[in-house]
Structure 1
């Protein structure tokens, strides 16, 4: 009995240490994010001497007023949302349709196809050939130039293919014996069992499309197609990026009363707010999909 009690005490102490370390680690991760929220709502005169603070000393919405008066933020938001939704749907569809045949043992020349996919993952044509290709097929200054070039991600295909191989082949064989076609097996059996990897790929794709700005910078000059990240980059580039205490100058109301630190913090909140809300709903699928998709080679 004494041994059992001492063992329970040791386990309890170990649990407390673990909880303390996890809490400390969470605070270390969350504080920089919270600090950006505080700085974004702090007036410039208080922000210059803010230091470490958990609450704004002097509330101000000037940074957000500056951002929303800089350009057509609403249109940039809409373009980013449309790009993210369309790009995610197409990428998930292409990934699934490429990964499922590669997961089947009866695919002819399966090894050759896998070799080609792996080579394509490490070797690309480069920026200039890619730009010329997009220009020659008429995608410059179109919304599709921001979506189609990245719809086939080889890493996503391989991870999804590995997940599909973990599904019991007997389930597919029984459906085939009942007269189901390969496409019906994929849609009615494989996909319902593959929600974790589908959500994982969708989350990766959505975050990547939401944060990506370089393609919009080089493929699109039409201001009506400008995405949020490009607008945010232009906003930051208009001020001295080497000095956080520099005053903001340029377009926008009350710009002379702002610091670069205020604008940067506010742009972080404006740009990541919507996409960060997706994580709580996808987390339970994300971990499972990533683990199962990375087990088999």
Structure 2
């Protein structure tokens, strides 16, 4: 009997340790409350912005600003923005720059990382040192602008892609992953007569889907969220990406005029609703894409964390 009671006390004391699945009810309730508070801090602002973008003019005027739940949801704000006005053009520009820029950046980064990962590659050490040097010393705004102007890229979409096409950190991460791949596979393919291009596309890239997905997500988010290059290099508002429109009309609180919506003759929804709709349009694409890459992202963040 004493043995049973001792083991029971040991079991109860072990389960009472914070963090264990069999902790006391008070500890589980505290953890649940903390998680609910964290979820509320993230979800409530998003819900307020989404509700405001869907609210009608009367409810927004009654509340004097943001609406937590729309009584009569309407898509007037989205119709005004996406019917051929400034925001619809900006979304097309952002989507095009993000897709083309991500493909260009992935192609350049994968090629450079693969070349640097192969032993005995020509100029391997100087190029690697140059990449590390670019991480430590970033060129200023004026030299970058003068270079882009000298290349004739001012007011061109390529000015939003080429200056940031290759990120040194992403290249170093890819190089580390390529270096960790079994060298025997590459040697066997080379003995069978496979070219370097065939080895890269048929062996290295299929084995590196997780790393490439993570780097691709980094590039895509960077291109989608970028507005500073457009602010410097793009002079025509018709070529603005969505983030520059967001920065102009939401952050700087500039007035959205009649000529910047789908129907210049129609009455505009409240400015707060239009600003909230622009915010939602800038967030939704990343939210939609992320679930498809989550599985690869979970694997990619573990690159180099576990050996053997």
TM-score by length of 1: 0.82
Contact 1:62 1:254 in 2 (8 A): no
Which of the numbers 254, 272, 296 marks the counterpart of 2:283?
Answer: 272
Please state how far the C-alpha of 1:39 moved relative to its aligned partner: 2.2
**Residue 205 of structure 1 corresponds to which residue in structure 2?**
219
Q: Distance in 2 between matches of 1:13 and 1:51?
A: 46
1:184-234 CA-to-partner distances (Å, cap 9, x unmatched) read 211111100000111111111111111111212221223442322223333
Which of the numbers 160, 168, 174 marks the counterpart of 2:174?
Answer: 160
**Residue 94 of structure 1 corresponds to which residue in structure 2?**
108
Q: Distance in 2 between matches of 1:237 and 1:203?
A: 25
- The runs of 5 or more residues in structure 2 that have no matched partner are none
- Pick which of 121-130 and 70-79 moved more: 70-79
1:234-285 CA-to-partner distances (Å, cap 9, x unmatched) read 3336746xxxxxxx67436544x6253x333221111221222000000111
- Pick which of 80-89 and 69-78 moved more: 69-78
For the pair 1:76 / 2:96, whether they are aligned, the reply is no
Contact 1:40 1:263 in 2 (8 A): yes
- Pick which of 126-135 and 190-199 moved more: 126-135
Please state how far the C-alpha of 1:40 moved relative to its aligned partner: 1.9
The residue matched to 1:278 in structure 2 has which SS?
Answer: helix
1:136-173 CA-to-partner distances (Å, cap 9, x unmatched) read 11112222111111111101101111111221112212
**Residue 53 of structure 2 corresponds to which residue in structure 1?**
40
The residue matched to 1:82 in structure 2 has which SS?
Answer: helix
The residue matched to 1:12 in structure 2 has which SS?
Answer: coil
Please state how far the C-alpha of 1:79 moved relative to its aligned partner: 1.6
Contact 2:106 2:216 in 1 (8 A): yes
1:295/1:138 CA distance change after superposition, 3 Å:
farther
TM-score by length of 2: 0.79
Contact 1:159 1:293 in 2 (8 A): no
Contact 1:44 1:259 in 2 (8 A): no
1:88/1:295 CA distance change after superposition, 3 Å:
farther
- The runs of 5 or more residues in structure 1 that have no matched partner are 241-247
**Residue 233 of structure 1 corresponds to which residue in structure 2?**
247
- Pick which of 280-289 and 166-175 moved more: 166-175
**Residue 142 of structure 1 corresponds to which residue in structure 2?**
156
The residue matched to 1:277 in structure 2 has which SS?
Answer: helix
1:176/1:206 CA distance change after superposition, 3 Å:
same
- Pick which of 45-54 and 137-146 moved more: 45-54
1:52/1:268 CA distance change after superposition, 3 Å:
closer
Q: Distance in 1 between matches of 2:51 and 2:65?
A: 11
- Pick which of 5-14 and 87-96 moved more: 5-14
1:168/1:27 CA distance change after superposition, 3 Å:
farther
Q: Distance in 2 between matches of 1:86 and 1:294?
A: 31
Q: Greater Rg, structure 1 or structure 2?
A: 2
Q: Distance in 2 between matches of 1:214 and 1:49?
A: 34
The residue matched to 2:105 in structure 1 has which SS?
Answer: helix
Which of the numbers 15, 21, 33 marks the counterpart of 1:12?
Answer: 21
1:108/1:69 CA distance change after superposition, 3 Å:
closer
Give structure 1 regions of 4+ aligned residues with deviation exceeding 4 angstroms.
Answer: 1-11, 14-24, 50-54, 293-296
Q: Distance in 1 between matches of 2:86 and 2:69?
A: 30
Please state how far the C-alpha of 1:92 moved relative to its aligned partner: 0.4
| Pairs aligned (count) | 287
**Residue 291 of structure 1 corresponds to which residue in structure 2?**
302
